[in-house]
Amino acid sequence: MSAESAQGRGRAAARFDVDGLLADRGTRIVVCCGAGGVGKTTTAAAMGVRAAEAGRDAVVITVDPARRLAQSMGLRELDNTPRPVELPETGRGAVPGSLHAMMLDMKRTFDEIVEAHADPERARQILANPFYQSLSSSFSGTQEYMAMEKLGQLRESGDWDLIIVDTPPSRSALDFLDAPERLGRFLDSRLIRILGAPPATGAFRVLGAGVGMVTGVIAKIVGAQVLKDVQSFVAAFDAVFGGFQERAERTYRLLQERGTGFVVVAAPEDDALREAEFFIERLRDDRMPLAGIVLNRVHRTAVPDLPEQAATAAAAELDRLGDHALAAAALRLHAEQARVQDREQWLMDRLAAAHPEVPAAEVPARPEDVHDLVGLAEIGRALGEG
Amino acid sequence: MSARDRDRDAVRLHVVTGKGGTGKTTVAASLALALASGGRTVLLVEVEGRQGVARLFGTGPLPYEEREIAAPFEGGRVRALAADAESALLEYLEMFYGMRRAGQVLTRFGAVDFATTIAPGMRDVLLTGKATEAVRRRTGERRRSRDSDTGRHVYDAVVMDAPPTGRIAQFLNVNAEVAGLARVGPIRHHADKVMATIRSAQTAVHFVTVLEEMPAQETLDGIGEIRAAGLNVGSIVVNMVRPPFFPDPVLGSVAEGRFDTDALVRGLKAAGFEDAEETARGLAREVGEHALRVAGESAIRARLDVLDLPRLQLPLLSGGVGPDALHVLAGRLREQGV
C-alpha cells in the first residue's frame, strides 16, 4: 500500500450529481441496475426519498425487496398499486414533494395485460391454461417483462412526475432491455408458427417435412399433453402478444430518450465492479442514457493520514513495550480498515480508468443496516453529497 | 460423530447458495477443494453462466465439459463444469434418445431456444439434471446405462454453485414445477429421477451468509423454503468473518459510550505519535463504529443459533480472493471438519 492512495482519492471519475438528476424536472424515469447484493433496492428507495425532499412527486417500483426494507416504506405485500409513503419531517420542515412505492406482482401484471388485450372468453381460456400459469408465475424472464410493462403503464398514465425503477436481480439484470427483442424472437420463431398453426395449413406446407419431425420430437420429450397445452396457449395468446410487444417497444424507445437516466449501482468489490462494467458497456451498446454509477458501502477510515503499515508497526512497538493493549488493538483495527480502504480504492480507480466518462457517487459504509425512512433519508443525503 | 462428519460420508451433492455478494462462488470452490483433499475426485458445477469459477481460478472461460481446474495440496482432483441449459438439452437428447440429428433440427427451428428460455422450469430441470447425473455416474458404464449400480462412482462429491437464496427452493424443486405441466411423459420421468437424488440424504443445501441483516434474513427464509420442499439443509457458512480486535468487555463499554480515550492517547504517545490526541479521536471513532457492527453481528449470530444447524466460518480476506486464497479457505474448512 502506498501513503498516496491512503490519502488521496486516486484518479476519481467526475462526481455524479445525484441531486441534480433528481431535482431536474426534465428527469422522468430513473432506472437502477446492478448485480444482486449491492444495495440496489436501497439506492432506489433512498433516491425516492431524496427526490421527494427536492419537491418531486416520485414513485418507486421495486421487485422483491428485502422484507425490512419493504416495511420501512410501509409495504406489506405484493401489490400492484403504488402506495403513499409517510415521509418524516426533515430539519427544514415538511417534505415538499411526495413518495409512493409499489412492489411488483408479476403474475397479476401479466393477468392484467391478458385481460386488457383479449376478449373475455379468450382471456378466460388463457388464464386457465396450465402452460400460461407456469409462464406467468415462474418463467425466468417474466419479472423483466413485467417490470418493463409496469414502467410503461405508469409513464403513460401521466400521473407520475418521476418514476424510479429497481430492476430485478437476475443473472443479467439488463434482460430488462432484451424484453422486446426476446418477445419478438419468440413470436417470430418458426417454432411458434408451427405450434400455433392448425395442422395442414400455411406454416406446415411452407416448412415442409421437418415440421412433423419437430412436433414429433417435442411430443416425445415433453409429452403430447404439454404440447397440446402449449398449442392452445399460443393460439389464444396471439392477439395479446401483439399489444404487449408494441408496448414493450414503446417503453424501450422511451428509455432511450432524454428524461431517462440509468444509474448503475455497485459496491467496491471485484465481482460487483466487473458486473458494473458489463452494465456500462451494455447500456452504451443499446444507446441508453447512463446518468452515473453509485458506489455503495465505501469504507473510509477516520484517520486518513495513518497508513496500514505505520499502524501495524506502531501496534507491534506497543506490544513490545507492553501495557498498552487497548491502543495496540485500536491500531490493528485501523490497519485492517486501511487495508480494506486501499483495496476498494484500487478497484474503484480501475473502473474510473476504464470508464473515465462515467461520473460516480460514493456512499459510505454504515455500521448498521438501513431499515427505516430516517435511514433511507440519510443514504439519500449521502447520495446527494456523493 | 458430528453432523459434519456424517456429511462427508453420506452427502455427495453439495448445493451452495447464498444472497448475491456473500461469496457463494468462493465458498463453493473452496468446499470443492476441501472435499477433494485426501485423493478424492470432486466436480464443481456452475449453472448461472457467469463464469465465476473460471475467474476465481484465474483460467479462461470454462466450456461445457468436465475439465481439471485445480489440485488440492493434499492430493485429490477438482474438475469444473460450466453447465448451460442448451448444451444440457442437446446432451440429454443424445444420451437418452440417441437423437443427435434431432437436436440439430430442433436448434434450427428455435426449439432449443424455446425450451431453455421460454418454457418454464425446463432450464432448471436440465441444469439440476446435469448435476444429479454426475452424482449418479459410475465408472465403466456405457452411456445408455449410466444408472446401473455396479462400478465406483466417478465423483466422490459434486459441488454446485447454485442460484441465489431467493430462487434456490424453486430451482431445486423442479419436480413441482414440471408436475404442473407434464403429468406423464419422458420429461416428467426425467424430473422424477432428478428429484429422487435431490430429495435423498445424498444431497445437502448449504447457505452462505455474511453477518448482515439482509443476507441473514434471506438465509432464514431460504432454509424455511428448502425444508418446506422436503429437502435437506446442510451447513450455514458464515463468510467474511472479521477477527476480534478487542475483548468483549471493551466493546461493551464502547457501545455504552464509555471509552478510555486517555489510555489510547497514552499508548499512541508511547508509540511515538506526535499528534496523539487527534489520532486518538479518529481511532476512537473507528472503535465506536466497530463496536456497533460487532453488536449487530452478535444479534445476527443469535438469530442463526436458533436454527441449530452445523455452522462453518470463513475469514474475511482483505486482499481479495484469488486461486491461492481458495486453498487457504479450503484449509479452514478442513480444520472445521469438512
**What was the pLDDT predicted at A210?**
58
Confidence check: pLDDT of B146 > 60? no
**ipTM score of the complex?**
0.80
- For residue A242, the domain's CATH number is 3.40.50.300
> Would you state the pLDDT for residue B111?
66
In a domain, A2, yes or no: no
Number of compact structural domains in chain A: 2
| pLDDT at residue A158 in the model | 86
Q: Using DSSP bridges, classify how beta strands B41-46 and A290-298 pair: parallel, antiparallel or unpaired.
A: unpaired
Among A14-18, A183-187, B61-65, B247-251, name the one with the lowest average pLDDT. Answer: A183-187
In single-letter form, the type of residue at position B95 comes to: M
Name which of B166, B279, B290 is nearest A303 (Cβ-Cβ).
B279
Classify strands A260-266 and A162-166 as parallel, antiparallel or unpaired. Answer: unpaired
Of the candidate ranges A135-139, A263-267, B67-71, B206-210, the one whose mean pLDDT is the lowest = A135-139
A312 and A299 within one domain = no
8 Å CB contact of B114 and A303 = no
- The answer to whether residues A275 and A328 belong to one domain is no
Q: CB A326 to CB B49 under 8 A?
A: no
Instruction: Report how far Cα A165 is from the mean position of its chain's Cα atoms.
Output: 7
Q: Compute the nearest-CA separation of B9 from chain A (Å).
A: 33
State the pLDDT at residue B190.
82
**Cell 416520485 -> residue:** A58
Over residues B213-224, mean pLDDT: 91
In a domain, A3, yes or no: no
What's the average model confidence in pLDDT over A191-212? 54
Q: Are residues B211 and B283 in the same domain?
A: no
B228 and B80 share a domain? Answer: yes
Phi-psi region of B140 (alpha: psi -120 to 50; beta: other; left: phi over 0): left
Task: Say if B306 falls within a structural domain.
Answer: no
Say what the pLDDT of residue A228 is.
79
Do A232 and A327 have their domain in common?
no
Instruction: Quote the CA–CA distance of A262 and B25 in Å, as a whole number.
Output: 28
| pLDDT of res. A200 | 44
Closest Cβ–Cβ partner in A133, A169, A222 for B187: A222
Q: Do the chains contact at B245 and A329, CB–CB below 8 Å?
A: yes
Q: Are residues B268 and B238 in the same domain?
A: no
Task: Give yes or no for residue B221 having a pLDDT over 50.
Answer: yes
Q: Which of A314, A340, A343 sits opposite B271 (nearest CB)?
A: A314
Angle of helix B122-136 relative to helix B165-172, nearest 10 degrees?
80
CA angle B197, B201, B205 (to 5 degrees): 80
Residues A21, A25: Cα–Cα separation, whole Å: 9
Q: Which residues of A touch B289 (CB under 8 A)?
A: 367
| Domain match, B221 and B258 both | no
The tens digit of pLDDT for each residue in B164-203 reads 898 899 889 877 777 666 777 777 888 888 999 999 999 9
Chain A's closest residue to B317, CA to CA, is A340
Using an 8 Å Cβ cutoff, are A334 and A303 in contact?
yes
Same domain, yes or no: A249 and A130: yes
Of B109, B182, B284, the CB nearest to A191: B109
Q: Where residue B227 falls among pLDDT bands split at 50, 70, 90?
A: very high
Is any Cβ of chain A less than 8 angstroms from the Cβ of B185? yes
Mutate to test the interface with B, among A230, A271, A306, A317 (most CBs of B within 10 A): A271
In a domain, B309, yes or no: no
Is B143 inside a domain boundary? yes
| Residue of B26, B94, B123, B181 to mutate, interface with A, max A Cβ within 10 Å | B181
- Predicted confidence (pLDDT) at residue A373 exceeds the cutoff of 50: yes
Nearest residue of chain B to residue A189 (CA atoms): B110
Find residue B45's DSSP bridge partners. Answer: B81, B160
Contact A221 B93 (CB under 8 A): yes
Q: For residues B140 and B270, state if they share a domain.
A: no
State residue B148's pLDDT score.
Answer: 56
pLDDT at B85 over 90: no
pTM of the model: 0.84
- Predicted confidence band of residue A3 (pLDDT cuts 50, 70, 90): very low
Q: Chain A residue with minimal CA distance to B162?
A: A171
Residues A248 and A266 reside in one and the same domain: yes
In chain A, the percentage of residues whose pLDDT exceeds 90 is: 40
One domain, residues B156 and B260: no
Distance from CA of A317 to the nearest CA of B (A): 6
Does residue A1 surpass a pLDDT of 60?
no
More confident: A8 or B329: B329
For residue B111, the chain A residues in CB contact (below 8 A) are 191, 214, 217-218
The pLDDT of B143-149, averaged and rounded, is 52
Cβ-based contacts of B281 with chain A (< 8 Å): 302
Mean pLDDT rounded to a whole number for chain A: 82
Is the CB of B245 less than 8 angstroms away from the CB of A343?
Answer: no
pLDDT at A212: 67
pLDDT at B109 over 60: yes
Q: What is the pLDDT of residues A48-91, one digit of tens each?
A: 999 999 999 999 998 766 666 677 777 776 678 888 998 887 77
**For A205-228, how does the pLDDT look when each residue is reduced to its tens digit (9 = 90+)?**
444 555 666 677 767 766 777 777
Q: What is the structure's pLDDT at B73?
A: 73
How many Å lie between the alpha carbon of A255 and the closest alpha carbon of chain B?
24
In a domain, B186, yes or no: yes
Residues B188, B45: contact at Cβ < 8 Å? no
Residue A270 included in any domain:
yes
Residue B156: inside a domain, yes or no? yes
Q: Give the pLDDT confidence of B245-298 residue by residue, as tens digits.
A: 998 888 888 878 788 889 999 999 999 999 999 999 999 999 999 998 899 999
Shortest distance, CA B48 to any CA of chain A (angstroms): 7
Contact at CB, B266 and A324, closer than 8 angstroms: yes
Looking at residue A182, what is its pLDDT?
Answer: 66
pLDDT at A185 over 70: no
pLDDT at B6 over 50: no
Residue at A6 is within a domain: no
pLDDT digits (tens, 9 = 90+) for B114-137: 666 555 567 788 899 999 999 999
- Checking if the pLDDT of A11 tops 80, the result is no
Range of the domain at A332: 308-337
Contact criterion met (CB < 8 Å) for A271 and B284: no
| A362 assigned to some structural domain | yes
B59 and chain A in contact, CB less than 8 A? no
Cα–Cα nearest to B298, from B206, B207, B208, B213: B213
Provide the residue range defining the domain that includes B11.
3-242+316-335
- Which member of A326, A337, A367 has the closest CB to residue B263? A326
- Calculate the CA B151 to chain-centre distance: 29
Q: Which residues in chain B are contacts of A203 at CB distance < 8 A?
A: none
Q: Please list every residue in chain A whose beta carbon sits closer than 8 Å to the beta carbon of residue B243.
A: 336
In sequence order, what are the residues at sequence separation of 6 or more whose Cβ sits closer than 8 angstroms to the Cβ of residue B148? B138, B141
B9-42 tens-digit pLDDT: 689 999 999 988 899 999 999 999 999 998 999 9
- Please name the member of A138, A339, A367 whose beta carbon is closest to the beta carbon of B177: A138
A/B interface, count of CB pairs below 8 Å: 218
Q: Are residues A78 and A159 in the same domain?
A: yes
Q: Treating both helix axes as pointing N-terminal to C-terminal, what angle do B24-36 and B323-335 enclose, rounded to 10 degrees?
A: 70
Residue B71 has pLDDT above 90, yes or no: no
In whole angstroms, what is the distance from residue A102 CA to residue B18 CA? 26
Best of B25, B96, B118 to disrupt the A interface by mutation (most A CBs within 10 Å)?
B118
- What is the reported pLDDT for A139? 57
Distance (Å) of CA A333 to CA A326, A345, B171: 11, 18, 41
Query: Same domain, yes or no, for B286 and B320?
Result: no
Same domain membership, residue A318 and residue A229:
no
Q: How crowded is the C-beta side of B238, counted as CA atoms within 13 Å?
A: 22
Residue A9: pLDDT over 60: no
User: In terms of domains, do B106 and B151 share one?
Assistant: yes
Record the cell numbers describing residue B254, joined without a space.
464502547
Pairwise CB contact (< 8 Å): A303 & B183? no
Type of residue found at A200: A
Residue B163 and residue B277 in one domain = no
- Asked whether the beta carbons of residue B292 and residue A368 sit closer than 8 angstroms, the reply is yes
Candidates B90, B109, B294, partner chain A, best to mutate (most A CBs within 10 A)? B109
Any A CB within 8 A of B96 CB: no
Q: Is B220 at the interface with chain A, CB within 8 A?
A: no
Tell me whether residue B233 is in a domain: yes
Burial of B297 (0-12, 13-18, 19+ CB in 10 A): middle
| Mean per-residue pLDDT, A352-375 | 90
- Determine the residue of chain B that is closest to A222 in CA distance: B187
Q: Which pLDDT belongs to residue A263?
A: 96
CATH of the domain at B99: 3.40.50.300
Same domain, B155 and B173: yes
List C-alpha distances in Å: B34 to A275, B81, B83, B154, B333. Answer: 28, 18, 22, 18, 6
Number of domains in chain B: 2
Co-location of B323 and B174 in the same domain: yes
CA gap B269, A323 in Å, rounded: 13
Which helix (H) or strand (E) segment is A314 a member of?
helix A308-321
pLDDT tens figures, A16-34: 999 999 999 999 999 998 8
Q: Is B178 inside any structural domain?
A: yes
User: How far apart are alpha carbons A83 and A155 in whole angstroms?
Assistant: 16
Residue range A361-371: average pLDDT?
87
- Most A-contacting residue of B174, B210, B214, B292 (CB-CB within 10 A), to test interface: B214
Look at residue B52 in the predicted model and tell me its pLDDT.
87
Cβ partners under 8 Å of residue A126, min gap 6: A114, A118, A132, A233, A236, A237, A240
Determine, yes or no, domain membership for B171: yes
